[in-house]
Amino acid sequence: LYTLCMKTIRPVAFGLMLCFLLSPLVANAQDRPGGNTIVGDTGIWFVPTGETLPKGRWSGGAQLVNEDRSEGFSDITDIGGMFAFGVSDRVELFGTFSYRRIDADLVPVAANGQPQDYLIRQGWKTGIGDVWAGAKFKLLSQRDNPSGYSVAARLMAKLPAASFDDGLGTGKADFQVDLITSREFSEKVELSLQTGFKVRGSPDGYNLTQGLKWGDGAAFPSRSRFRGIAEMHGEALEDQDQRFTGSN
């Protein structure tokens, strides 16, 4: 999957792929397989679902996430692993870690706007990426809900493991909360919607902003180990006027 992110008023990342999921597809409460998102919880790929792992079950896998950013004409790749564990039938703990590579063709990167999650300073850098960890709480299950929807709340935090000095990360913790709704139709297609809010920590010299996160995705056939998936996700930044306030 190749994801393209463009700096617009509402940056959107589009993804479409026919794939074999590297992570184990663990059956959930609906007796259908579920993969891991890029942060580890049960979901499609970028977009989570309202389902959680059954109590005592776990899932995990390897992933490569590539992103192109207009800021600095940067190519960003994270290679790592993710995991999830069902604490109960309604609570899931999850996390992800990675090795990060950034290739920026335009320096200084701020000439094309302020990146929000990477403070790119060099043309080429590699190192440990940030760590994400969190919990997802299933509020409604499709099996038990008369309306047939699964609903979950997700809380997660970024542990700033990526090097601030090398520009691989911000060096500050971030937090995100999401409300997720999903439903499987006729045991063939699974659809999911996500809305959330992300709070970023700002290092000295930067005024990073909060943002409204959103996403929608579909998986077909939903009960097969080989699935075609389509996703659309993005973020509406609270403050569009991003400036570097420190010294070069």
- Provide the residue type at 231 as one letter: E
Overall pTM > 0.85:
no
Best CA proximity match to 211, nearest among 5, 4, 3, 2: 5
What is the share, in percent, of the chain residues with pLDDT greater than 90? 56
Query: Cβ distance 190 to 219 under 8 Å?
Result: yes
The DSSP H or E segment spanning 124 is strand 124-128
Tell me what the mean pLDDT of segment 143-168 comes to.
Answer: 90
Residue 109 pLDDT: 62
Using pLDDT thresholds of 50, 70 and 90, give the confidence band for residue 161.
Answer: very high
Query: pLDDT band at 31, cuts 50/70/90?
Result: low
**Euclidean distance between CA atoms 5 and 207, whole angstroms:** 21
Most confident range (mean pLDDT) of 43-47, 133-137, 205-209, 221-225 is: 133-137
Mean pLDDT, to the nearest integer, of 200-226?
A: 90
pLDDT of 118: 85
